[in-house]
Structure 1
Amino acid sequence: MIAIFEAAALEAGSAILKVYHQGPEIRLKGDNSPVTEADERAEAIILKHLRAFLPNIPVIAEEQVAAGLVPQITADTFILVDPLDGTREFIARHDDFTVNIALIEKGQPVVGYVYAPALGMAYAGKPGRAEKQLVGADFSIIERLTVETRTPQDEICALVSRSHNSVETQAYIAANAIHAQKAIGSSLKFCLLAEGLADIYPRFSRTMEWDTAAGDAVLRAAGGKTLDPSGNPLTYGKRNRKNEVDFANSDFIAWAKAPSGG
């Protein structure tokens, strides 16, 4: 399955870069979030791959959901797709936007693929293995490197969202005496934790499941955890809740190495 995700993401990334270099036309969706032709092209490519090779697994894809096209999930297994995570980064000409594809089983992300086309690198996670991939100019994998999380250093480094930082996030960082932080866009924050380049990613602002699932799968495969406010693993497939939209995440804290008991 990871090979299917890889092929889909690499082709989608190629299409995204063409729009990136041309300059995207920007529109607003119903929730006032931006969308570009790159989001739509990439999603169409990914869905094409998934329908060809995994036709029996329901797919929840961000732009389809925005258009009101939400398949019924009648089993414990489905796929989450964010064709262009970090659209604001993409529009602002920052390179840390990603393509995200994840397999969810019984509420947990078990296989994930994150591709950062402008950076020429990708991350893949499946049970027992997480890897960083270096991607060539021809969109083929030229090197695969096993990654794993690190034990927190004397000075803990926190990752925060460049475009969606919040007062609550900064308050958490201050309350826990975390002095080093770095702002990164998209799901790459999970991947940097998985690679052992940072220690914690606290998120106290809105995310959707397709924003986090692929990176979360990579992080868990590398030995990390993503915990909800109750200290339980963040779950996926959340629907039909009172006063909350479907597939919205709670606040969470992602750890390279979670504290004991977490």
Structure 2
Amino acid sequence: MNLAGTVHLNKTGIAIFAIGFLLIFYYAFLRDTSSMNNIRTINLKELLQTSILAANEGGLEVLKYKNTNDIRSKGKTKEGANDSVTMADLKSHCVMMGTIKSYDKRIRVISEEAVDKCDYTGSDRIIKLSEIDELVDVNVPVDDVTVWIDPLDATQEFTEGLLHYVTTMVCVAVKNRAVIGVIYQPLIKKWYWGWVGVGLSDKNIQVKAKSDDFIKIIVSRSHKGAVEQMIKSSQLKNFKITTAGGAGYKVLEVVKGENDVYIHTTNIKKWDICAGNAILDALGGKMVDLKGNLIDYGYDSNHIHENGLIASTKSDDIYLNKFVNN
């Protein structure tokens, strides 16, 4: 008995077999590769460019509504302060969200404002920066990306006419870390950006040396919390405390060397601090909570950061470590 048998294939059978094999190979391998390259990844250099455009567009909206008195309350903060929202906040949200979603609708975006309907259809403006064109292309899985936007940081100061404190901010987090930060100051039409491990908007930024016996500390003018008590408990003798509005503004004051350390002890929203965190990291600095932990910016993380923060342009800052340890 011939158990092996004999198989005869004609030309038609061979053709069908070959086509079937190619289809299996395409769906099993080539289609998956194409999906990873063209659908499931996102280019961070392009997203940085889009983030700068979004912050700029939001800033233009903020200035349009600077003289309006449409102020509403979203309720009270945990500390009892009024949590205000203005038409400028809402309009800025719409154009910033629309700009990012126009680039890639798959991106998960978390904004300070929740707007049910926006009439924004996109902008024809293009901001092309030569220094960004020179950067490397980095592609990451889109599911790892979360974009945090603050359409108007320092709303209270905005309502008081203190526009120099106002910023619009965009932050790109990859997994749970702040990687790209953009802070735009609409009043003076200037933006700062940082991409951790890749580059900075101002290559001439120099971290100023400071005397070990004197430190300049910047804190919130409306949410001082227990900062002064914490400083006193650190036994620091020579220091100066400056109050200011807006987390973005305070980070920039540290970045520019006008202040040495930014300290905050009460709750703060992550869209307020994510962009500044990325810029400080890109500069070689650090932003951590008051226990020394890095801040989680993952999509599923709590939008409220509850453990305070301390930020410096130097990751090994002796004062940063001094306050964290107290």
Query: Where in structure 2 are the equivalents of 1:1-262 lying within 5 Å?
Result: 1-20=47-66, 22-31=67-76, 32-64=82-114, 75-95=143-163, 96-127=165-196, 128-132=198-202, 146-154=204-212, 155-166=214-225, 168-176=226-234, 177=236, 178-186=238-246, 187-237=248-298, 239=300, 246-249=302-305, 250-259=307-316
Q: Which runs of 5+ in 1 are unaligned?
A: 68-73, 133-144, 241-245
Do the aligned residues in 2 keep the contact of 1:228 with 1:252 (CA within 8 Å)? yes
TM-score by length of 2: 0.67
Q: 1:59 to 1:148 in 2, by over 3 A?
A: farther
SS of 1:93's equivalent? coil
Alpha-carbon distance between aligned partners in 2 of 1:204 and 1:88, rounded to the nearest angstrom = 19
Do the aligned residues in 1 keep the contact of 2:172 with 2:179 (CA within 8 Å)? yes
Q: 1:78 to 1:229 in 2, by over 3 A?
A: same
Alpha-carbon distance between aligned partners in 2 of 1:211 and 1:88, rounded to the nearest angstrom = 14
Q: Give the CA deviation at 1:14.
A: 1.0
What is the aligned residue count? Answer: 236
Q: 1:260 to 1:35 in 2, by over 3 A?
A: closer
Name the aligned partner's letter for residue 153 of structure 1. Answer: S
Q: Give the CA deviation at 1:121.
A: 2.2
Do the aligned residues in 1 keep the contact of 2:284 with 2:315 (CA within 8 Å)? no
Identical columns (%): 28
Do the aligned residues in 1 keep the contact of 2:270 with 2:297 (CA within 8 Å)? yes
- Indicate the RMSD between aligned Cα atoms, in angstroms: 2.2
Q: Give the CA deviation at 1:164.
A: 1.4
Q: Give the CA deviation at 1:174.
A: 2.4
Per-residue CA deviations over 1:212-255 (Å, capped at 9, x if unaligned) read 00111111111110112331222213747xxxxx3111211111
SS of 2:113's equivalent? helix
Q: Name whichever of 44-53 and 220-229 sits farther off.
A: 220-229
Per-residue CA deviations over 1:48-69 (Å, capped at 9, x if unaligned) read 11111132210001112x87xx
SS of 1:216's equivalent? helix
Do the aligned residues in 2 keep the contact of 1:208 with 1:247 (CA within 8 Å)? yes
Q: Give the CA deviation at 1:256.
A: 1.9
Q: 1:56 to 1:150 in 2, by over 3 A?
A: farther
Q: 1:106 to 1:164 in 2, by over 3 A?
A: same
Per-residue CA deviations over 1:180-224 (Å, capped at 9, x if unaligned) read 121121111112222222211111011011010011111111111
Name the aligned partner's letter for residue 120 of structure 1. Answer: K
Structure number with higher helix proportion: 2
SS of 1:170's equivalent? helix
TM-score by length of 1: 0.82
Q: Give the CA deviation at 1:260.
A: 6.3
